[in-house]
Chains A and B, each alone.
Chain A
Amino acid sequence: MNSPSDNVRHATPPILLALALWAWQADLLPWGLAMGAILEALRFSKVRFVPRTEDLNRLWNATVLLFIGVALYLFLARRGLESVGTIVTTSSPATRLDEMREMSQTAVVLLRWLPFVFYPFIVATSVSRTTTLPWEVFSLRLRAMGPEVSGLRPPDWATGQIHPGYLYFALVLFASCAGTARSKAYLPLLLSVLALALWPWRSRRYRAWSWVGMYLCLLVGAAVTERGIERARQTLLALEGRLMQNAGQGDRFDQLHGVTSIGAVGRLKESGRIILRVRTPDGTAPGLLREAVFNRFRASVWGATHREFQTVGTPIDGHIWRFSRRQRSGRFMTIARYTAQGEAPIALPSGTIMITNLPALAVETNYLASARMHEAPPLVVYTVEHGPGGGFDGPPDADDTNLDSLKGPDSEAIEETAQALGLKGQPPDHAVAILERYFATKFEYTRWQDRSTGQTNSSPLAAFLRESRAGHCEYFATATVLLLRAAGVPARYAVGFSPGEPRGDTWLARARDAHAWCLAWINGHWQDVDTTPGTWRQHEAVAAGWSEAIRDWFSDAWYHFALWRQRGGNWRIFVFAAGMIALSWLGWRQLRGSRWRRAREQQTAHPQRTSPLPGLDSEFFALAAVIARNHGPRLPHETPRAWLRRLSLIGTPTASLLDEALQLHYRLRFDPRGLPESDRCRLRELARQLLGTHRAPGFRNRID
């Protein structure tokens, strides 16, 4: 049985397999196989050279430079700096997303190329006689610190050596993760290659079959985990969508089937949840914002005959959707709303010219000028420019005057009312005026509907027109559309919101502000005709409960949070700038820190040199220099007293003076309190005297 260290010394990773796996994933199979074959063949080659440490260092430096070069090339060859610039400056989320994708693809390509980049290095080490390389090769810092820092390494690095083959093996496997050929077989294959590489390193205490069992467990575990991660990702995405959805509009809005509450019995209940936040520059009421337009009424359901939604072409500058060729009006409103899983109808005022800043990937409209967005973030804030003559509604066609879909009682009631009002043959604006007056004077708004009359030849709409003369906006709008059609005026039924609650410069549209009205073709363009009595808003306001303020507060808080989370525009630049400043500061700290650290290390190594020592200006030193010149220097380990004693100067005629000077010098040097000025003067005087004596010619002879 081999000892583990033997295994370690002789083990080499299955590099051919790893390269094959990588090449399969990166779609470079011939390359990978060739590279692996060369590496495997080199094992059997007899050619070996013994590299010096400097050679290895230089080789690694060259490899790192190659890596940087390849990274730069990739970065510049693709969109490069321009991409970064766009990401920072663009205000279009879609563009930014695209550029981010571009950048990440650059990174992925770089990752995929890693085995190429490090191949020369691994080939060179394969033909060298060294199986392992010291860590210093891979780190300039370790190189700079020198061999004495090896004690600073973690204990298991104590050998200070690393097998370059395993390093390259890990790199290849890592690169293989960035592959394009996603396959279910990838994970088991990756694990198998890893298991093969680790096989010689296994502990021999356990039998081989237990290792195989463990490998199988790992395989199953990996498969389960992979599935689990995907599920968790989806759950998280769904959760986020649902959270946002709960804050915004509940269910998906159907722009093709407007199921009305016509015929519903009892109180119409709508919540006070805030759906839209509309901001107009001058604070004027935004008017009616429509979300869907219908043109066919059948059995309480409004439908659209032109069902096809068509994608509006590529936005200008990535975020401007222009709908009308009309001159720009300069009248804007900004609308914020939540989307349901990235989709929502676009609430628009009549006469929309263009939409800007809409962060959706696609916008669709249909013939009836309903608009919707796709692939939008959970919260969208867009600006609409609108004005007279704008809008993209299709011109009236046969469907807009069609009353064929009406059933018996409805048809009769409409016919009857149109007759009574004398609508037929009236010019459109007159017909509208008649209807407006009629509904304003003879009808009233209510959210309450009695159980409908038991007559079988009646319908809710007929009952509204003939008997109750009270209903909610859908009754009024439906009746108006149908009556206008009866008068020969093309008319459509629009639903949307009528924001009526200003708060600061923002108009709120709550769920109960949902409204229905009529679009009439008057003088060559579509015009909003709202015949619902103006009291409807007061009726609706009654529904506001005491808790609405609290719910509004939470709603606002959530809105601001969502806005902060995905705000486009300039803040990214600030973040980028702040990041750059922080990075440069860190770099500067690093540089300065290292210098500082070096200085401190020096201080600990030679404490006497850097910290100021007291009494270094002592006059005794000058005296000592003269004595040293005359009689021989002081040894480093000798104290001045021991030195003077060795020189036998203590017993000379000047001994007592010398001793006193030394005593004062000692106090000056070693007493933390220092020497009083008087004693210092005495030391100066003694030194002067003694210098005179010791410099005198013949002094040396005299004492000798």
Chain B
Amino acid sequence: MLIGATSDPVSNPQTEGNRDAPKVTPPQETYLRLHRTICQVIRGQDATVRRVLAAFASGGHVLLNDYPGTGKTTLAKALARAIAAQFTRIQFTPDLLPSDILGVAIFHQSNGEFRFHEGPVFTNILLADEINRASPRTQSALLEAMAEGQVSVEGQRRVLPELFFVIATQNPIEFRGTYPLPEAQMDRFALQLDLGYLPPEEESAMLAAQMRDHPLDRISACTTVSEVLALRRAVQDVRVSDEIRRYMVELVAATRKTAGVRLGASPRASLALMKTSQALALFAGMECVTPDHVQEIAVPVLAHRLVLDPQAQYSGQSQRSVVEDVLRQVPTPA
């Protein structure tokens, strides 16, 4: 990994908050509380939690991509629990239908009318578990909800709650009975994160913590929807200089020109890169984005959007390595 080791002082909110910005702003305080609460449940994943929260605070959605049992669902549930918000979970299966997600109009005999029954998508935090198990048709039912915060069901436009966050998980190892997400759907996720296995000492600490009960049961909501919305607004106020913007655009443009890449990152990727960088800057107590923030978040934001040539894949290139190469090639403003 090029950048962003977990020991990075930038990504350590506690130390940085104490040293650089003695006055912690309320949005930053919201972030710190959330981060602390989630880290009680997910051990040894501080950086990942920080990035998930960056996507969450910038209005993006997150795709967690890892092996079974690495804590993807737990992370999603912990985030949901930490906020006093409505949480629903959809377990994606091959026979899941779009109406199972969006809702359906049911005929009521008592008054002779069709009444719309809202599906699980009408919520604040939606956990789409094992999203690659459902058919592309059902996966696509989420497209509009994720991009525009609304769903169109039976010719009617229904607006989702202002705070709408999708955290989806998928299992990269299983091929049987899965449907890889289409590129358009992939592009809708601001970040794709890998949790990875814990170091042995962290894992043993986790075992110790869960001897009696799951820490998930112990945590309670530490923040409210309105505080989260305030956090989102504060993220939008983080300043981005022209130079940084150009740097981001150059990074994204470079992915399109790299050999072996069939589909480069979209302009939506540039947007996501800017917004998540803003969130990281706010988490670090800064009022402007620095190249460090961009570099930290570039791989999770860009990698999953790239489509590589089969040739490139067989020769050992991965989406992640492409983005890392790009980061190495584009000169950083200093």
Give the B-binding residues of A (Cβ under 8 A).
607-608, 611, 613-614, 624, 634, 636-642, 645, 650, 656, 659-660, 663, 666-667, 669-673
B60-68, B122-130, B170-178, B238-246: which lies at the A interface? B238-246
Set of chain B residues within 8 Å of A673, measured between Cβ atoms: 239, 287-288
13 pairs, A vs B, C-beta closer than 8 Å: A613-B243, A614-B241, A614-B243, A637-B327, A638-B332, A641-B10, A641-B290, A642-B3, A659-B9, A660-B20, A670-B243, A672-B240, A672-B242
Give the 5 A-B residue pairs with the shortest CB-CB distance, closest first.
A671-B288, A639-B291, A636-B331, A666-B290, A670-B241
Please tell me if the beta carbons of B288 and A637 are within 8 angstroms of each other in the complex.
no
Please tell me if the beta carbons of A667 and B243 are within 8 angstroms of each other in the complex.
no
The one of A637, A650, A670 in contact with B328, judged by C-beta atoms closer than 8 angstroms, is: A637
Please tell me if the beta carbons of A671 and B246 are within 8 angstroms of each other in the complex.
no
In the docked arrangement, what's the CA distance between A607 and B9, Å? 31
Set of chain B residues within 8 Å of A671, measured between Cβ atoms: 239, 241, 287-288
Set of chain B residues within 8 Å of A641, measured between Cβ atoms: 10, 290, 292
In the docked arrangement, what's the CA distance between A672 and B290, Å? 11
Please tell me if the beta carbons of B246 and A669 are within 8 angstroms of each other in the complex.
no
The one of A636, A660, A672 in contact with B332, judged by C-beta atoms closer than 8 angstroms, is: A636
Given A642-B3, A667-B288, A670-B288, A634 and B329 contact (CB-CB distance below 8 Å): no
Set of chain A residues within 8 Å of B246, measured between Cβ atoms: 607
In the docked arrangement, what's the CA distance between A614 and B239, Å? 14
The one of A663, A670, A672 in contact with B333, judged by C-beta atoms closer than 8 angstroms, is: A670
Query: Nearest chain A CB to B333's CB is how many angstroms away?
Result: 7
Please tell me if the beta carbons of A608 and B286 are within 8 angstroms of each other in the complex.
no
Interface residues of B in 279-334 (CB under 8 A from A): 286-292, 295, 327-334
Query: Which residue among A640, A642, A667, A673 has the maximum number of chain B CB atoms within 10 Å of its CB?
Result: A642
Set of chain A residues within 8 Å of B240, measured between Cβ atoms: 672
A-B contact count (CB 8 A): 72
Set of chain A residues within 8 Å of B289, measured between Cβ atoms: 670
In the docked arrangement, what's the CA distance between A641 and B293, Å? 11
Q: Which residue of chain A has its CB nearest to the CB of B328?
A: A637
Please tell me if the beta carbons of A637 and B239 are within 8 angstroms of each other in the complex.
no
Encode contact with A along B6-31: 1 for CB under 8 Å, 0 otherwise: 00111000000001100000000000
Please tell me if the beta carbons of B9 and A650 are within 8 angstroms of each other in the complex.
yes
Please tell me if the beta carbons of B333 and A669 are within 8 angstroms of each other in the complex.
yes
Please tell me if the beta carbons of B244 and A670 are within 8 angstroms of each other in the complex.
yes
In the docked arrangement, what's the CA distance between A702 and B65, Å? 45
In the docked arrangement, what's the CA distance between A659 and B286, Å? 14
Please tell me if the beta carbons of B290 and A637 are within 8 angstroms of each other in the complex.
no
Set of chain A residues within 8 Å of B333, measured between Cβ atoms: 608, 613, 669-670
Q: Is the interface of A mostly helix, strand, loop or mixed?
A: helix
Given A634-B334, A637-B328, A642 and B239 contact (CB-CB distance below 8 Å): no
Q: Which residue of chain A has its CB nearest to the CB of B287?
A: A671
Interface size counted on chain B using CB atoms at 8 A: 29
Set of chain A residues within 8 Å of B295, measured between Cβ atoms: 639, 642
Query: Nearest chain A CB to B216's CB is how many angstroms away?
Result: 34
Set of chain B residues within 8 Å of A666, measured between Cβ atoms: 286, 288, 290
The one of A624, A659, A672 in contact with B288, judged by C-beta atoms closer than 8 angstroms, is: A672
Query: Which residue among A636, A666, A667 has the maximum number of chain B CB atoms within 10 Å of its CB?
Result: A666
Please tell me if the beta carbons of A608 and B243 are within 8 angstroms of each other in the complex.
yes
Set of chain B residues within 8 Å of A636, measured between Cβ atoms: 331-332
Please tell me if the beta carbons of A645 and B8 are within 8 angstroms of each other in the complex.
yes
Query: Nearest chain A CB to B16's CB is how many angstroms away?
Result: 9
Q: Which residue of chain A has its CB nearest to the CB of B5?
A: A645
Query: Nearest chain B CB to A638's CB is how many angstroms away?
Result: 6
Set of chain B residues within 8 Å of A634, measured between Cβ atoms: 334
Please tell me if the beta carbons of A672 and B331 are within 8 angstroms of each other in the complex.
no
In the docked arrangement, what's the CA distance between A670 and B10, Å? 16
Q: Which residue of chain A has its CB nearest to the CB of B243?
A: A613
Query: Nearest chain A CB to B289's CB is how many angstroms away?
Result: 6
In the docked arrangement, what's the CA distance between A607 and B331, Å? 12
In the docked arrangement, what's the CA distance between A226 and B186, Å? 66
In the docked arrangement, what's the CA distance between A641 and B12, Å? 14
Set of chain B residues within 8 Å of A611, measured between Cβ atoms: 242
Q: Which residue of chain B has its CB nearest to the CB of A650?
A: B9
Set of chain A residues within 8 Å of B330, measured between Cβ atoms: 637
Given A637-B329, A639-B334, 14 further pairs, Cβ under 8 A? A613-B333, A624-B334, A638-B332, A639-B292, A639-B332, A642-B292, A659-B9, A667-B288, A669-B241, A669-B333, A670-B241, A670-B288, A670-B290, A672-B240
Q: Which residue of chain B has its CB nearest to the CB of A638?
A: B332
In the docked arrangement, what's the CA distance between A610 and B291, Å? 21
Given A608-B333, A637-B330, A642-B3, A656 and B243 contact (CB-CB distance below 8 Å): no
In the docked arrangement, what's the CA distance between A348 and B289, Å? 93
Query: Which residue among A638, A650, A673 has the maximum number of chain B CB atoms within 10 Å of its CB?
Result: A638
Set of chain A residues within 8 Å of B332, measured between Cβ atoms: 636-639
Set of chain A residues within 8 Å of B20, measured between Cβ atoms: 659-660, 663
Please tell me if the beta carbons of B334 and A640 are within 8 angstroms of each other in the complex.
yes
In the docked arrangement, what's the CA distance between A666 and B291, Å? 9
Query: Which residue among A624, A634, A639, A667 has the maximum number of chain B CB atoms within 10 Å of its CB?
Result: A639
In the docked arrangement, what's the CA distance between A660 and B9, Å? 12
Set of chain B residues within 8 Å of A663, measured between Cβ atoms: 20, 286
In the docked arrangement, what's the CA distance between A660 and B16, Å? 11
Query: Nearest chain B CB to A91's CB is how many angstroms away?
Result: 64
In the docked arrangement, what's the CA distance between A275 and B292, Å? 91
Query: Nearest chain A CB to B331's CB is how many angstroms away?
Result: 4
Q: Which residue of chain B has its CB nearest to the CB of A637?
A: B328
In the docked arrangement, what's the CA distance between A580 and B302, Å? 58
Q: Which residue of chain B has its CB nearest to the CB of A624?
A: B334
Set of chain A residues within 8 Å of B290, measured between Cβ atoms: 639, 641, 666, 670
Set of chain A residues within 8 Å of B239, measured between Cβ atoms: 671-673
In the docked arrangement, what's the CA distance between A666 and B10, Å? 13
Q: Which residue of chain A has its CB nearest to the CB of B285?
A: A663
Set of chain B residues within 8 Å of A670, measured between Cβ atoms: 241, 243-244, 288-291, 333
In the docked arrangement, what's the CA distance between A636 and B291, Å? 12
Query: Nearest chain B CB to A665's CB is how many angstroms away?
Result: 9
Set of chain B residues within 8 Å of A669, measured between Cβ atoms: 241, 243, 333-334
In the docked arrangement, what's the CA distance between A672 and B287, Å? 10
In the docked arrangement, what's the CA distance between A670 and B289, Å? 7
In the docked arrangement, what's the CA distance between A640 and B295, Å? 12
Query: Nearest chain B CB to A436's CB is how many angstroms away?
Result: 100
Query: Nearest chain B CB to A148's CB is how many angstroms away?
Result: 15
Please tell me if the beta carbons of B19 and A656 are within 8 angstroms of each other in the complex.
yes
Query: Which residue among B9, B287, B290, B295 has the maximum number of chain A CB atoms within 10 Å of its CB?
Result: B290
Please tell me if the beta carbons of A672 and B9 are within 8 angstroms of each other in the complex.
no
In the docked arrangement, what's the CA distance between A667 and B285, Å? 12
Query: Nearest chain A CB to B254's CB is how many angstroms away?
Result: 11
Query: Nearest chain A CB to B17's CB is how many angstroms away?
Result: 13
